Amino acid sequence: SAVISQKPSRDICQRGTSLTIQCQVDSQVTMMFWYRQQPGQSLTLIATANQGSEATYESGFVIDKFPISRPNLTFSTLTVSNMSPEDSSIYLCSVVKGATNEQFFGPGTRLTVL
Amino acid sequence: QKEVEQNSGPLSVPEGAIASLNCTYSDRVSQSFFWYRQYSGKSPELIMSIYSNGDKEDGRFTAQLNKASQYVSLLIRDSQPSDSATYLCAVASGYSTLTFGKGTMLLVSP
């Protein structure tokens, strides 16, 4: 597995603002992903963070709303832009290390938009 | 559209019993199957992965896979109150992204 940290752990934001969430891993990983988990729901994949290139977004998610960076093999950021109350959710990063496709999750960022 | 179905529960079992959690999936080419445990307010924790038909045991946990029936299950033996959590089934096709089920809540009563 890997030790994964996310910052901030939680935040309360005003609508119309943006928040950048950081994901840091203690060692190099093969792949990094960003998920959203709305209250009482399962996990929905937002995008795959690609090192050195544009992220690959899932249907329903766009780069203008959720810009993602991954400058190296241990770090990624997700920005939630122009937030609305519907963006209130837990945002999780996950990583794959090595040749398997086992994913390990960070502790999550709990976002509340007022 | 890839789908992963789980009974939402709650599944209630007494302490010491066997808890059986089930999952079906729609994509026939799925190759990798995972069970995650998620405590309330925490992130998912990988507890089992299985890739071949049959059983895979790890301590009190046994994962069972039947690709012909597109069915994967998780058995928890000697259930403990600390096993009370939501269990998420996840499926991947090849080296690709995971599709998660909505999870089954397990309640183990002392």
pLDDT tens readout for residues B39-66: 999 999 999 999 999 999 999 999 999 9
* Residue A70, CA atoms < 13 Å, CB-side half-sphere: 23
| The token pair that represents B71 in the structure block | 């069915």
**Percentage of residues in chain B having pLDDT higher than 70:** 97
pLDDT of res. B70: 95
CB nearest B43 (choices: A1, A42, A107): A107
> Are the CB atoms for B61 and B48 separated by under 8 Å?
yes
What is the structure's pLDDT at B53? Answer: 95
Sole residue written with tokens 């950081």: A22
> Which chain B residue shows the shortest CA-CA distance from A95?
B97
In single-letter form, the type of residue at position A84 comes to: S
Closest approach of A40 to chain B, Cα-based (Å): 9
List CB contacts (< 8 A) between B44 and chain A. 43, 92, 105
**pLDDT value, residue B17:** 97
Closest chain B residue to A91, measured at CA: B43
Distance CA A68, CA A80 (A): 9
Q: What percent of chain A has pLDDT over 70?
A: 100
What is the predicted pLDDT for the residue at B95?
61
pLDDT at B1 over 80: no
The yes-or-no verdict on residue A81 having pLDDT over 80 is yes
Task: Tell me if A12 sits within 8 A of A24, measured CB to CB.
Answer: no
**With an 8 Å Cβ cutoff, is A101 touching chain B?**
yes
* pLDDT beyond 90 at A42: no
Whether pLDDT at A68 is above 80: yes
Q: Which of B43, B89, B98 to mutate to test the interface with A (most CBs of A within 10 A)?
A: B43
Counting Cβ atoms within 10 Å, is residue A24 exposed (0-12), middle (13-18) or buried (19+)?
middle
Query: What pLDDT, on a 0 to 100 scale, did the predictor assign at position B80?
Result: 97
Q: Rounded to an integer, what distance in angstroms lies between the CA atom of residue B34 and that of residue B90?
A: 5
- Among the residue ranges B7-11, B27-31, B66-70, B105-109, the one predicted with the least confidence is B27-31
Average pLDDT over residues A76-98: 95
Count of A–B CB contacts within 8 Å?
42
State the CB neighbour count (10 A cutoff) for residue B48.
19
Distance from CA of B44 to the nearest CA of A (A): 6
